[in-house]
Structures are given as C-alpha cells and as structure tokens.
Amino acid sequence: MVENQLRVRAQLAKDLDVARSNAVSATERLNRKEQESAAAEARYISRLERRTSELKSLWAIHFAKVDFRQQPLRWTAEQDFVGRLEIERAIKELVDAPDPVKLSRSRMHTTHEHHSRFTIPKGVECRLFFVVSQGRIDVRRICKKKDF
C-alpha cells in the first residue's frame, strides 16, 4: 500500500515536472511569436508611412488644385495597386470636372462635405468626401460605403 502510494507520488512529481517544462517551452515560443508579430507590424507601418509620403508627393504634382488630409492618403496607401488606380481615377474625375460639386451625390448635413462614389476591385463601393472652396478641392476622407 505504501509502496503503491510512493509510485503514484513519484509519477505525479514526474508529470508535474514535464508540465512545468512544457509551460516554459510554450511561454518561450509565445514570446518569440509576439516579437516576430511586433517586428512584422513595425515593417507594415513603416511601409505604409513610406507609401503615404510617396502618394502625398506624387499627388501634389498630378493634382495641384487638390488638398489632401492625412486619412485619404493613408487609406489609399493601404489599398492594392488596382485599388489605388481606381481612387486616382475618381480624384482625376473631380479635378477635370468644371464644377466638382455637380459630381456629388449629395451633401452631408453635419459636415457640409460633398461625396462622390466609386468602386474598387471586387465590387467594393467607396465614397470620397470633399469640400470645394475658392477653386480648390479639399479631399477630407475616403472610405468604403459600409464604413460611412
């Protein structure tokens, strides 16, 4: 009887050591994965900031009479190449229009922004919110239709 209890106790102590070892190993793996995730996120943010800066510089040349807030630049930088082309097409349509307000679907009552719609790949409807003042177009935000 005592001998059996000693064997059970020894087995439980061994199982506890294995469980502790597994817990330490799992914690180390989790820490490595968290570090890798943080590094990947930092690379993504860096790339996004670089793309945003590139778009701001490029659009300042191509859309000289348009002012862009930070949100539309950043949102566009997150899109893939074909999506960015569709956004640029929508902006060009505004710039080329004799009266951009006439392209507006309506005006937002609270912010007094006009908005036009366009579609990015996969049929995703988007909205471009803008204000026209003294011949300049101020693009304030861009979002998917479901987000506004």
The number of distinct structural domains making up the chain is 2
How many residues does this entry show for the chain? 148
Q: Cα(104)–Cα(36) distance, rounded to whole angstroms?
A: 45
22-60 burial code (b ≥16 CB/10 A, e <16)? eeeeeeeeeeeeeeeeeeeeeeeeeeeeebbeebeeebe
Are both 88 and 135 inside the same structural domain?
yes
74: CATH = 3.30.2310.20
Are both 8 and 55 inside the same structural domain?
yes
Are both 57 and 106 inside the same structural domain?
no
Task: Judge whether residue 104 has pLDDT over 90.
Answer: no
Confidence of residue 2 (pLDDT cuts 50, 70, 90): confident
Are both 42 and 70 inside the same structural domain?
no
Are both 71 and 117 inside the same structural domain?
yes
Question: What is the mean predicted confidence (pLDDT) over 115-138?
Answer: 91
Q: Cα(8)–Cα(47) distance, rounded to whole angstroms?
A: 58
Query: Containing H/E element for 125?
Result: strand 124-133
Domain that residue 39 falls in: 1-62
Are both 105 and 86 inside the same structural domain?
yes
Model-level pTM?
0.75
Q: Please give the residue that has the higher pLDDT: either 88 or 3.
A: 88
Q: Cα(130)–Cα(135) distance, rounded to whole angstroms?
A: 12
Using the structure block, give the residue that is written with the tokens 């590094």: 39
Q: Cα(145)–Cα(123) distance, rounded to whole angstroms?
A: 11
- 98 DSSP assignment: S
- The string of pLDDT tens digits covering residues 49-61 is 999 999 999 999 9
Query: Containing H/E element for 30?
Result: helix 2-62
Structure tokens at 54: 């590139």
Structure tokens at 19: 């469980």
- 110 DSSP assignment: T
Q: Cα(67)–Cα(79) distance, rounded to whole angstroms?
A: 20
Are both 108 and 81 inside the same structural domain?
yes
